[in-house]
Chain A
């Protein structure tokens, strides 16, 4: 653990100082834009480091930390540390400062007390991280879930946060980093829409308090990061950042999730309206080209990999789409999806009352009270008075329409438009600055919103107590999903044909080697387990046939049931 902390400190210091060095070369002298640029470059460098290490087979604390140490030494010798200027103390206003402090504290507590627990994250986002960390390189084995080959840009950042300690205790910090990007992006957007400094900060804090955004930030989901990156694109265009700088968050976002592309029509409209204003030139165009190329490499890597491995860059999505169990991905634009999604949002999801508030947002939009009430009313009022707000609102609407055109109407598609409440938060902050009673209403709304979104409601109080009751080093959602009692270091087989929380099988410290079984029946499963010397199997039993076979094995004493899903081979 001590060595891990040392390598972690070295790598983080080099990433921060390296970001600073790069940032000096591409900054624009527009301070809010430069602040956002710094955060995006930091994400870019961390992702680049993990990508390079994964490709070279150097995905270990020692290799990455050692490389970080060398880079850090070089930067220190070059005197980069002497060029660091701490940012001025921002003028937030008392109320906004308190709210930001509370939100930050809550986020850090969530990072500490939560373990990855939500369905899609455990099913297909995170198992590949388990494989990478155990193998020290990128692997073709990514888990049993058919959606595992989708782009994994966000997983690069998550890997950065688990690699040094070889533990997923801080994995949620990846989401927190992107939440910071979202915060800075909304602040910049608000400033460019004409809000004063304090109001822009209020808008950014309100967005950070948006229930779904806040919950996703610490749930290992990539929709909040996509919202943050797409808002960065919009803010960059609004601020007239150089197109190469706008390309950076766009490319990084494409590597996180393909949905990033769906919002582009809206931002192109914004670009059209900004066409008369000259671009802000970066300090060095040559360095900016290099940064843009790096971001393209990071974002495009997954599509190139899928083209080489599967013959289709968008694998597993084909032009006909993708369907597996309840997961359905549309293969292209479909006109019928637009009105269906609009109706779903307006008649049900916007009220957030069709299901519990949780990161997957089943049946809800998760935009929260402030967006629903003060934000929406302030937007209607603001549209009458402010041309900039009108133009931005039109761009946001077109971006939303783009997503709705490209997305299958289902219960959980509203998380793809998580960027939209940023506009409502900006409108609310704008009106709150003009009318103190409105500020009071916004304050009351955000207080209620804060109180109701501390814990994802997919976890029952009993589940939450089980999570919190574990020591930090052993904290895992395993006991909640029927995975507990496997001795440390013991290999585990996983067998599933639908989405299954297979990530918990690795253990929070990645100590369990995982054998992914792609078998036809229980006899083949048993044979493979014996061949690989694996005694424990974590089983998905929704198939009646497999359930029946396992029951027969139990009766003849071949296998012992430990939990609903965990079994031990006896002979």
Chain B
């Protein structure tokens, strides 16, 4: 983060007009540098591996972290931001369905539950 007075040209987004915010954020949305992609692949790959070895195979289809790690891996491989956002929408919808599926069991109050 840098302040407006010290900011080089094109430092980032000037928010001084918005909400009295005087700072300028030094991180414009940008595609990650190429050298970061192997690190991302490694991190998400490790996460996937961890989930694969630590979760009962029958429960893998609904594992939240596995879904997120697979998404992260796919997003790292996609070159365009637009296609990544599209993929994000698909993944969000999938996770929302997964969550809603789990909630159905509480749609009716269970007869054996007492507070």
Contacts and interface: CB of A to CB of B under 8 A. Distances in A.
Interface residues of B, number: 51
B64 A445 contact: no
Contacts of A84: none
Interface in A190-220: 191-192, 194, 196-197, 200
Could you tell me the dominant secondary structure of chain B's interface residues?
Answer: helix
A352 B99 contact: yes
A356 interface: yes
Nearest to B97: A373
Contact of B109 (A352, A353, A445, A460): A460
B61 interface: no
A192 B75 CA distance: 26
B68 interface: yes
Interface in A352-397: 352-353, 355-358, 369, 372-374, 376-378, 380-381, 384-388
Given A377-B91, A381-B84, A372 B64 contact: yes
A351 B99 contact: yes
A191 B21 contact: yes
Interface string B57-84: 0010011110010011001100000001
A448 B21 CA distance: 34
Contact of B19 (A31, A347, A353, A458): A31
B10 interface: no
Contacts of B72: 380
A29 B20 contact: yes
Given A380-B72, A434-B85, A372 B18 contact: no
A30 interface: yes
Contacts of A276: 1
A192 B94 CA distance: 30
Interface in A512-531: none
Instruction: Name the residue in B19, B32, B63, B109 with the highest tally of chain A Cβ atoms < 10 Å from its Cβ.
Output: B19
Contact of B21 (A32, A378, A438): A32
B105 A388 contact: no
B88 A457 contact: no
Interface of B: 1, 3, 13, 15, 18-23, 25-27, 29-32, 36, 40, 55, 59, 62-65, 68, 71-72, 75-76, 84-85, 88-89, 91-96, 98-100, 102-103, 105-106, 109-110, 113, 115
25 contacts: A29-B20, A30-B20, A32-B19, A194-B13, A194-B25, A197-B18, A274-B1, A351-B98, A351-B99, A351-B102, A353-B103, A353-B106, A355-B106, A356-B106, A373-B96, A377-B71, A377-B91, A381-B84, A381-B85, A381-B88, A388-B25, A441-B92, A445-B96, A459-B115, A460-B109
